[in-house]
Structure 1
Amino acid sequence: MVNNGESTTRYVFVTGGVVSSIGKGIVAASLGRLLKSRGYRVSILKLDPYINVDAGTMNPFQHGEVFVTVDGAETDLDLGHYERFTDTPVSRLNNVTTGSIYQAVCNRERRGDYGGGTVQVIPHITNEIKDRIRRVAADTHPDVLITEIGGTVGDIESLPFLEAIRQFRNEVGRARVVYMHVTLMPWIAAAGEMKTKPTQHSVKELRSIGIQPDMLVCRCERALSAEIKAKVSNFCDVPVDCVITSQDARSIYEVPLNLEKEGLATQVLGLLDLPERSPDLAPWRMLVERLYHPQSQVEIALVGKYVRLNDAYLSVVEALRHAGIHLEAEVKLRWVNAEDVERDGAAHHLQGVQGLVVPGGFGIRGVAGKIAAIRYAREGGLPFLGLCLGMQCAVVEWARHLGGLATAHSAEFDPETEHPVIHLLPEQQDVVDLGGTMRLGLYPCRLQGDSVAAQLYQETVIYERHRHRYEFNNAYRSLFLESGYRISGTSPDGRLVEMIELSGHPFFLAVQFHPEFASRPSHAHPLFRGLVQAALGQ
């Protein structure tokens, strides 16, 4: 289908009911995968109800990781799922928050754009929301734009978004919009039966807002029987073929295949009056097969300070899993709290693992533990990959234990340190606001041709996503190179150190950027693949 812009785009709005974290993002991403496998162009948008302008300043314990787009937006982690499932980059347009909506409307009011009129939720806020949806359609020209509305139906903060999508259908035409509601169908073990009442009440709440769902995706532990589907269809006024089972799966990558069996994409295309096409899901089935039937096993330690919430390192975890898929190996993760390493010593927590990842982060808490873990990997020949702060900690570890600079530190954590081997980027010197002001997004990196990094990438110029304020201090570059380390990647002008390696080590590589954001289940990122391969002894 040739799409000439927003005028031909169809829209699927995905809402959720009963409980949060029900899996709307995975359903939206899975639908994107199924439509793309049929040759349709797809884009996915996330409407988030929180007041923050973006996710950049949010605590990972509350929100999970911050996913960075190629154009430097700090976004919700669901955008990572969108990219991984559809293998299509998203941009800052694909994540809209209540904060960004109100900020834009208030800026217009201050400029006098509303001609002195009273600014209200309806129509001004809802119009801005609809404009953001249209902007994505106009920018990406998809055949189908899937929009996930964050939160749960019934939440006060979600109401403007729901009102906006209710209006949207009338404006673009009923035949071009599908409302898909993801809801919970709990199995009550004591009663020995599945309960439909939560779904019925959730649909009733959605109807009270003026939206009648066209499809129901029912999250459940067990498959829905024909009788249950018929009951839900009858009570919720949804065709029985549009009541879709979304049963718990061993892996999120199995979900598209399960939803394909349920006819999700076929029903969506029918409702949107788009021709059904035969899907090409063979590559996806192959990667799930490799995931479920590994030929070997390896344990990798992830040493961080947010390990109590696994979603804080979601893209890192998925990138390791992708490497395992590629190498037909099960990657088992050992979650290690950096503060525990600081207290008990690295050997106590890392004994027996075959590899180590130290991911990014902010703040001094846990840094001493990360440095101790890196020293353990360096001295013990343990394959190591450092990401962003992980590279900075590796530089501090080098300076203290090999460079003869016992008091060395990052200026982020000790502004008065005698040896600031990591210091603030020059362009960050006068920055006051924290949100959206770091070195963000895609930047080029030039690799040394004979480096491990160049062998892994099979390229000498690469592009990776960044999110940091501090960098390697070039005043220490000569000393660093004299001690067995090498700088294997820099900015094209050679000014910024982007990658370091330790010569003679089985695998010791650290990077200033975030390669995890570019990894896909269909093609593992070279650095994670290299780490797992080294951990396997290959």
Structure 2
Amino acid sequence: MARYIFITGGVVSSLGKGLASAALGALLQARGYTVRLRKLDPYLNVDPGTMSPFEHGEVFVTDDGAETDLDLGHYERFTGVSARRTDSVSSGRIYSNVLEKERRGAYLGKTIQVIPHVTNEIKDFLAVGDDEVDFMLCEIGGTVGDIEGLPFFEAIRQFAQDRPRGQCIFMHLTLLPYMAASGELKTKPTQHSVKELRSIGIAPDVLVCRSEQPIPEKERAKIALFCNVRPDAVIPAYDLKTIYEAPLAYHKAGLDQAVLDAFGISPAPRPDMTRWEDVMDRLQNAEGEVRIAVVGKYTQLEDAYKSVAEALTHGGMANRIRVKAEWIDSEKLEGPEGPHLLDGYGGILVPGGFGERGTEGMISAAKYAREKKVPYLGICLGMQMAVIEAARNMAGIPDAGSEEFDHEAGQKRFTPVVYLLKEWIQGNYKVQRKLSDDKGGTMRLGAYTASLKPDTLISQVYGGALEIEDRHRHRYEVDATYKDQLEKAGLTFSGMSPDGRLPEIVEIDGHPWFIGVQFHPELKSKPFSPAPLFADFVRAAKEAERLV
């Protein structure tokens, strides 16, 4: 039976609960324990799949096809443990499950209430797979006191009561604001946050206090006294230069020891921090720098491309190169002078997205990269725009476009070389879709296999492999009926679905490095195991920069 660590937050949002959870998971792994991390979000959306990237940041996709919170990306990047559908849940999903059961008569006519029916549903979610790992880390989204979060707080209180004593602990993150006028750190917000938590029956065992200034010992002692925790369980959390410093920083601050002490685990196994020391060595001792232009639709919010940004960092680490990613709004490339914004970059990356806005700028970026021989990596929509560019300017289809854009405009304007996939095989099942379907959860989601063409760049990138598996999240596909016409023009379809129906990877013949992929390689990249595509793209970009 797993031991449970519930991570909550107070005072303000965005304190870094996800990062603290991920770092703690990595530290427990360093001591030889197995871990799994989960996120419980109080919003009423069933999942983040239909939420705007400006609203919520990126949607992280698991191998089994769940659209989840971006914090699950942190969990995977720090622990290497592949997230599953059962590692993310929202209030919307919980209430949807309860109402479906009620409609089926599963509650035998009882009056359905938040307590016990909603809280029981949350507890059932928490218990899934608890015999598989040593520690289950569960992060509760939002802050204590939020109305929408109350069922989750009540559920974890009940869950801890139901389990044997010593099986669950609570870790609470708070903010210690610094008052410049008086030169003081103020502990009162933390005291009130803990008071709010205790008022609903939860007493924190470990306090993690975010601060921009060093926390004096007397302030830590004051927090411990007023919040009823041990002084060595008050853990300072300072701003870091890179998130990958977090495991070492939290270990130095004593977080993992405080957690093991709260469980009464003594003596605790000694940690092996070699992995994270190597990660920091590669970051701090880079032997050069390369500039990468990321041409996207949602560049105003970097969290919209969180995994892409981190995968570029990982690619740099693989080459001991510092990657300077610069974000360019694709709409700015749509004028005649727009492509000149790409001058001077070692590589161009066009990530995923939805809708027509900004796509002509992405097509311009693909054209610039092809003509100027600049390394290009197109991901999902970035691959589709590269295919459209090749169709227009290499294969003689001047009105090439996407069925997605025609559907959005309500009229036919293009010859669609990208179309709505209406049927595909997922596992042992045939999946069918149409334009009128709900938006949520109706894409090709999760891990799919791609068969690689021998002696191609993509096969070299993956060490000569002829088959790879990666995660997808898209509704539209490149139309394979144009394959022969495009290949004659110089666009190689170097990866296809195993049945040969769906293009997965394209390359430009004679180009030093030009790859478009329908999947999202960034989702599986880790600092200690960079995605091969990103590692080789960064290498090629640095090489191209040297030749300029």
Could you state the TM-score of these two structures normalised by the residue count of structure 2? 0.95
The structure 2 residue matched to 1:194, chosen from 162, 167, 185, is 185
Residue 133 of structure 2 corresponds to residue 147 of structure 1: no
Residue identity matched to 2:140: I
1:305 aligns to what? 297
- The 1-side partners of 2:434 and 2:113 are apart by 39
SS of 1:308's equivalent? Answer: coil
1:3 aligns to what? none
1:456 aligns to what? 461
Give 1:28-427 correspondences, 5 Å limit.
Answer: 28-138=21-131, 141-275=132-266, 276-343=268-335, 345-415=337-407, 416-427=412-423
SS of 1:450's equivalent? Answer: coil
- The 2-side partners of 1:165 and 1:344 are apart by 57
SS of 1:429's equivalent? Answer: coil
String of CA shifts for 1:101-121, please: whole Å, max 9, x gaps: 001110111111111111000
Residue 521 of structure 2 corresponds to residue 521 of structure 1: no
Deviation at 1:352, TM superposition (A): 1.2
SS of 1:413's equivalent? Answer: helix
- The 1-side partners of 2:505 and 2:518 are apart by 6
- The 1-side partners of 2:173 and 2:285 are apart by 30
SS of 2:23's equivalent? Answer: helix
Residue identity matched to 1:429: K
Residue 444 of structure 2 corresponds to residue 439 of structure 1: yes
1:470 aligns to what? 476
Could you state the TM-score of these two structures normalised by the residue count of structure 1? 0.97
Deviation at 1:189, TM superposition (A): 2.1
Residue identity matched to 1:178: I
String of CA shifts for 1:438-479, please: whole Å, max 9, x gaps: 110001111112011111111111000001111111221111
- The 2-side partners of 1:89 and 1:534 are apart by 29
SS of 1:90's equivalent? Answer: coil
Residue identity matched to 1:319: A
* Structure 1 residues 33 and 344: alpha-carbon distance in aligned structure 2, compared to 1, 3 A threshold: farther
Residue 526 of structure 2 corresponds to residue 533 of structure 1: no
Residue 515 of structure 2 corresponds to residue 509 of structure 1: yes
Deviation at 1:345, TM superposition (A): 3.5
- The 2-side partners of 1:369 and 1:418 are apart by 17
Deviation at 1:273, TM superposition (A): 2.8
Residue identity matched to 2:324: K
- The 2-side partners of 1:385 and 1:227 are apart by 53
- The 1-side partners of 2:294 and 2:414 are apart by 30
Deviation at 1:136, TM superposition (A): 3.7
Unmatched segments (≥5 aa) in structure 2: 424-432
CA contact (8 A) 1:421 1:473 kept: yes
String of CA shifts for 1:482-513, please: whole Å, max 9, x gaps: 01121111111211110000111121000000
- The 2-side partners of 1:176 and 1:250 are apart by 35
Q: Which moved more, 1:186-195 or 1:232-241?
A: 186-195
- The 2-side partners of 1:315 and 1:485 are apart by 28
Residue identity matched to 2:170: Y
* Structure 1 residues 99 and 136: alpha-carbon distance in aligned structure 2, compared to 1, 3 A threshold: farther
2:499 aligns to what? 493
Deviation at 1:344, TM superposition (A): 6.1
> Aligned Cα RMSD in Å?
1.2
Residue identity matched to 1:196: T
Deviation at 1:418, TM superposition (A): 4.6
Residue 7 of structure 2 corresponds to residue 11 of structure 1: no
CA contact (8 A) 1:411 1:417 kept: no
String of CA shifts for 1:163-187, please: whole Å, max 9, x gaps: 1111111100231111000010122
Residue identity matched to 2:415: H
String of CA shifts for 1:363-394, please: whole Å, max 9, x gaps: 11111111111111111111100000000000
CA contact (8 A) 2:12 2:143 kept: yes
CA contact (8 A) 2:2 2:130 kept: yes
- The 1-side partners of 2:59 and 2:527 are apart by 20
CA contact (8 A) 1:431 1:437 kept: no
Deviation at 1:41, TM superposition (A): 0.7
Deviation at 1:225, TM superposition (A): 1.6
Residue identity matched to 2:311: A
Q: Give aligned pairs, total.
A: 529
1:5 aligns to what? none
CA contact (8 A) 1:387 1:514 kept: yes
CA contact (8 A) 1:410 1:422 kept: yes
SS of 2:106's equivalent? Answer: coil
Residue identity matched to 1:481: E
* Structure 1 residues 123 and 537: alpha-carbon distance in aligned structure 2, compared to 1, 3 A threshold: same
CA contact (8 A) 1:345 1:372 kept: no
SS of 1:280's equivalent? Answer: coil
Residue identity matched to 2:119: T
- The 1-side partners of 2:83 and 2:130 are apart by 12
Unmatched segments (≥5 aa) in structure 1: 1-7
- The 1-side partners of 2:510 and 2:493 are apart by 14
Deviation at 1:341, TM superposition (A): 1.3
CA contact (8 A) 1:321 1:331 kept: yes
Q: Which moved more, 1:145-154 or 1:486-495?
A: 486-495
- The 1-side partners of 2:226 and 2:422 are apart by 62
Residue identity matched to 2:509: S
- The 1-side partners of 2:490 and 2:355 are apart by 29
- The 1-side partners of 2:233 and 2:300 are apart by 38
Residue identity matched to 1:291: L
SS of 1:488's equivalent? Answer: strand
* Structure 1 residues 344 and 209: alpha-carbon distance in aligned structure 2, compared to 1, 3 A threshold: farther
- The 2-side partners of 1:123 and 1:492 are apart by 47
SS of 1:28's equivalent? Answer: helix
- The 2-side partners of 1:56 and 1:136 are apart by 24
Deviation at 1:254, TM superposition (A): 0.3
- The 2-side partners of 1:351 and 1:285 are apart by 36
Residue identity matched to 2:447: L
